[in-house]
């Protein structure tokens, strides 16, 4: 009898233990390539900042969802005046910052005015350029007046650069970010990792994870063993070259999604011979996108024919504008006065898509007689020589900001492209908020730069996600630079 009791007791213990073992785990380790310089998304352009704090630690008036759509966040709802110039936001009540202070309209006013101020170091100051004044009507109502209607205003407020910060803690956000999000910042071990933990006082639906650690693993060769050994559970952006090594492994899920990164052969339109449309058309005809995608990102990535994301509803497939045709390319080059081709330079920044894709592009252009000298540069040099001083012929770069076709309308941008018809379309886009009309204008804009062959339009940079097969809710696409963990959980 005693034996039986002992046996039953032991079974009970084992049962209790195994049920504990089967409860879903609540910790997560993510591998990310770059360490952010600091953690304040309102004071730096580094994508690595948003990839940790956006939607997790910080929230804005609106937020960008998984498919790039604008969703309410700290603003529960809003009304837009008939002239499109005044936005009245109804703010969520009962929201507190992680330091315990309450969130009110004054905080949003402070945030926006700080970003617009003369001494502001906001990397996307242009997002706020239409704002004329901000008024906190009462703690839960905010009124923003624009000096002209702006179709993209609600979208702009969803950027990481527009998240709401508290006046008391804004200056310390670089080191210790304090937001309103479902996760609180816990620790930053410099050079190693950033850890965030669940915010028990979150206003919205609580997150399933108790703790998430972003571990910095810069080396592609180190990413594979980190995943295989189980040290790291998820890589939102796994090195494209390494994906095939884990693709057949049932322990992992490989999800190829889209980013907002248009990868282009950027061309100096202001410099001979690239100022000649025929030369640019010849280059466009000489590029074989499939081959480039194979070389640059292991075959992952969607071909593009203009500067626009295929994931966007306003996307128009223009890859057929100048199809791959070497003979035609040669003929165009001869027409332009270069029957024997010419030589130039191709400056390549460090990412693999540029360095590896550049080799393919150079060999394709050599087919039509354009002899390119490949010049590898680091980012700092690229920003200075190519971007700021426009001292380049051709370069390869991925433009990762969402919806950034308007850069082609900028004066003095590094493409040196100038087209009044295009500028007019962008100007109209800035004022129109009707979705159908906007899509039409976006289509028009895509066509103009595609036909002008401003740059060699190559492919949309893929988001090669790899994670534990039991993990649910990771984002497939990257419509904005973020690793939103609010819906992530372990399957039981």
- Taking the CA atoms of 463, 467, 470 and 475 in sequence, report the sign of the dihedral they define: negative
Q: How far apart are CA 343 and CA 333, in angstroms?
A: 13
For other proteins, the closer of residues 125 and 431 by Cβ is 125
Q: What are phi and psi of 137, to 5 degrees?
A: -65, -50
Single residue of 70, 80, 123, 197 touching other proteins by CB under 8 A = 123
Regarding 118 and contact with other proteins (CB under 8 A), the answer is yes
Please state the closest distance from residue 155 (CB atom) to other proteins, in A: 15
For other proteins, the closer of residues 195 and 281 by Cβ is 195
Could you identify the residue written with the tokens 């490989």?
Answer: 254
Please state the closest distance from residue 473 (CB atom) to other proteins, in A: 24
CA distances to 24, 229, 336, 414 from 470, in Å: 10, 16, 58, 45
Compute how many residues bind other proteins; rule: CB under 8 A.
47
Please report how the helices 352-367 and 289-297 are oriented relative to each other, as an axis angle in degrees rounded to 10.
150
Q: How far apart are CA 403 and CA 260, in angstroms?
A: 8
Nearest one of 36, 67, 63 to 159, comparing CA atoms:
63
- Cα angle, residue 81 at apex, residues 78 and 86 outer, rounded to 5°: 75
For other proteins, the closer of residues 27 and 434 by Cβ is 27
CB within 8 Å of 480: residues ≥ 6 apart: 50, 54, 64, 68, 158, 159, 160, 260, 402
For other proteins, the closer of residues 9 and 350 by Cβ is 350
Regarding 328 and contact with other proteins (CB under 8 A), the answer is no
For other proteins, the closer of residues 193 and 306 by Cβ is 193
Q: How far apart are CA 60 and CA 178, in angstroms?
A: 13
Residues 126-145 that bind other proteins (CB under 8 A): 126
Pairing of strands 27-32, 211-216: parallel
Q: How far apart are CA 302 and CA 293, in angstroms?
A: 8
Contact string (CB under 8 A) for other proteins, positions 384-403, x = contact: xx-xx----------x-x--
Single residue of 6, 221, 374, 491 touching other proteins by CB under 8 A = 221
Contact string (CB under 8 A) for other proteins, positions 223-242, x = contact: --xx-xxxx-----------
Regarding 119 and contact with other proteins (CB under 8 A), the answer is yes
Residues 166-185 that bind other proteins (CB under 8 A): 174-175
Contact range with other proteins by CB under 8 A, out of 81-89, 290-298, 374-382, 415-423: 374-382
The terminus-to-terminus CA distance of the chain in angstroms comes to 37
Residues 148-167 that bind other proteins (CB under 8 A): none
For other proteins, the closer of residues 175 and 313 by Cβ is 175
For other proteins, the closer of residues 3 and 190 by Cβ is 190
Regarding 116 and contact with other proteins (CB under 8 A), the answer is no
For other proteins, the closer of residues 265 and 318 by Cβ is 265
Task: Report the interface residues with other proteins, using CB under 8 A.
Answer: 35, 37-38, 43-46, 118-126, 174-175, 189-193, 215-219, 221-222, 225-226, 228-231, 378-381, 383-385, 387-388, 399, 401
């Amino acid at each position: 009898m005693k034996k039986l009791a002992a046996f039953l007791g032991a079974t009970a213990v084992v049962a209790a233990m195994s049920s504990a073992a089967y409860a879903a785990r609540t910790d997560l380790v993510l591998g990310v390539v770059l360490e952010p310089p600091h953690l304040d998304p309102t004071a730096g352009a580094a994508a690595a900042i948003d990839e940790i704090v956006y939607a997790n630690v910080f929230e804005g008036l609106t937020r960008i969802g998984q498919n790039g759509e604008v969703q309410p966040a700290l603003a529960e709802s809003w009304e837009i005046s008939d002239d499109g110039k005044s936005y009245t936001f109804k703010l969520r009540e009962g929201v507190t910052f992680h330091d315990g202070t309450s969130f009110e309209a004054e905080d949003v006013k402070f945030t926006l005015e700080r970003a617009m101020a003369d001494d502001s170091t906001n990397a996307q100051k242009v997002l706020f350029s239409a704002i004329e004044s901000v008024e906190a009507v009462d703690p839960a109502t905010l009124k923003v007046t624009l000096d002209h209607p702006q179709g993209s205003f609600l979208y702009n407020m969803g950027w990481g650069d527009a998240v709401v910060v508290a006046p008391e803690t804004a200056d310390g956000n670089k080191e210790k970010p304090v937001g309103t999000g479902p996760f609180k910042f816990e620790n930053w071990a410099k050079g190693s990792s950033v850890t965030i933990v669940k915010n028990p006082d979150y206003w919205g639906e609580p997150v399933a994870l108790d703790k998430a650690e972003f571990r910095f693993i810069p080396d592609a060769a180190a990413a594979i063993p980190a995943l295989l050994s189980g040290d790291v559970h998820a890589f939102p952006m796994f090195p494209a070259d390494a994906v095939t090594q884990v693709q057949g492994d049932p322990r992992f899920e490989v999800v190829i999604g889209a980013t907002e990164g248009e990868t282009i052969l950027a061309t100096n339109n202001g410099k001979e011979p690239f100022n000649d449309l025929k030369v640019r058309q010849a280059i466009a005809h000489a590029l074989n996108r499939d081959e480039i995608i194979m070389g640059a990102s292991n075959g992952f990535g969607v071909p593009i024919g203009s500067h626009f994301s295929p994931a966007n509803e306003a996307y128009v497939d223009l890859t057929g504008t100048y199809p791959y045709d070497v003979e035609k390319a040669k003929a165009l080059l001869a027409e332009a006065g270069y029957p024997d081709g010419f030589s130039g330079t191709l400056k390549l920044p460090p990412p693999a898509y540029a360095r590896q894709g550049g080799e393919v592009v150079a060999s394709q252009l050599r087919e039509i007689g354009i002899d390119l000298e490949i010049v590898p540069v680091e980012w700092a040099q690229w920003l200075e020589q190519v971007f700021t001083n426009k001292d380049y012929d051709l370069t390869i770069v991925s433009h990762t900001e969402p919806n950034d076709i308007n850069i082609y309308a900028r004066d003095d941008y590094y493409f040196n492209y100038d087209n009044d018809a295009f500028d007019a379309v962008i100007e109209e886009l800035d004022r129109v908020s009707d979705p159908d009309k906007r899509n039409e204008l976006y289509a028009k804009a895509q066509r103009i730069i595609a036909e002008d062959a401003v740059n060699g339009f190559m492919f949309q940079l893929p988001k090669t996600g790899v994670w534990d097969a039991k993990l649910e809710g990771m984002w497939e696409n990257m419509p904005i630079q973020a690793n939103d963990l609010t819906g992530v959980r372990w399957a039981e």
